[in-house]
Amino acid sequence: MALRAQQINEKTRWQDLTEGLQIHEPATSRLFETGEWRTDTPVWDTEKCKQCLLCVPYCPDSCIVVKDNARQEFDFKHCKGCGICVKACPFGAISMKEGK
């Protein structure tokens, strides 16, 4: 039986706690702005970008926004700064900078 956080006190048995790594409400990832975890930030060079969109499917957090078939700026609210997009870009249009 899962208990709400406000109901948990020092007398709660461990067996009554909600298991970790469980998704109890689907499709909530948009509600969690995980970009604050980022230690490195991707930088997009629009001059080098050829709009090939090869970087888009590689982003594990869907942070590369596409609008009207063109790549837009990163969604920094969700970008964790993993740098996968840097390796995916064949034109060197994405680099990483330290910090947010």
Look up the CATH number of the domain holding residue 14.
3.30.70.20
| Rounded Cα gap, residues 46 and 27, in angstroms | 32
| Rounded Cα gap, residues 5 and 12, in angstroms | 11
pLDDT digits (tens, 9 = 90+) for 25-76: 655 666 777 878 889 999 999 999 999 999 999 998 889 999 999 999 999 9
Cα angle vertex 66, ends 97, 69, to 5°? 130
pLDDT given at position 30: 67
3 state DSSP class of 59: coil
Instruction: State which residues form the domain around 56.
Output: 5-98
- Number of structural domains the chain divides into: 1
Tell me the pTM: 0.68
